[in-house]
Amino acid sequence: MTGSEGALAPDAVLLISRLLLGAIFLWSGFGKLTALSGFTAGMEAAGVPMAGVMAPLGAAAEFLGGLALILGAWTRLAALALVVFTVVATLIAHRFWAVAPEQAQMQTIQFMKNLAIVGGLFALVSAGGGRYGVDGFRQGRRESW
């Protein structure tokens, strides 16, 4: 094989990336929205200021950002917003350096997982969502005018 024979097309790879990254945010955001009082209590326990305001905003941002990635709508903006969300959430919830030794390994794993997710999100910020999504449809429509 030479060149790109047998390779996945870049737009298909971007679609798969959006679906896989978006799924974790959609699922987790939905869970937080449907159990908002528990999420708020957890944020209060973590010392987050204005947890009663921040919890619904964070849960909505997570859910809507995940949905936007899955649909390929405002992909770069959604990915950038999810970078901010993930960094803040990681620094609140996965402080491996500040937990009991028996929790440190799991929190380190969660911290590193979130770093990997941020890397994938930055790739979408750079590349966009590809043509298999709302952004690609809108781009194609503009080019046809």
Structure token pair of residue 73? 């709508």
pLDDT at 140: 75
How large is the average pLDDT for residues 101-115? 94
pLDDT of 1 strictly over 80: no
Structure token pair of residue 127? 């590349």
3-state SS string for 35-90: CHHHHHHHHHHCCCCCHHHHHHHHHHHHHHHHHHHHHCCCHHHHHHHHHHHHHHHH
The CB density around residue 42, as the number of other CB atoms within 10 Å, is 16
The rounded radius of gyration (Å) of the Cα atoms in the chain is 18
pTM of the model: 0.88
Average pLDDT, the chain: 91
Tens digit of each residue's pLDDT (9 = 90 or more) over 59-102: 999 999 999 999 999 999 999 999 999 999 999 999 899 889 99
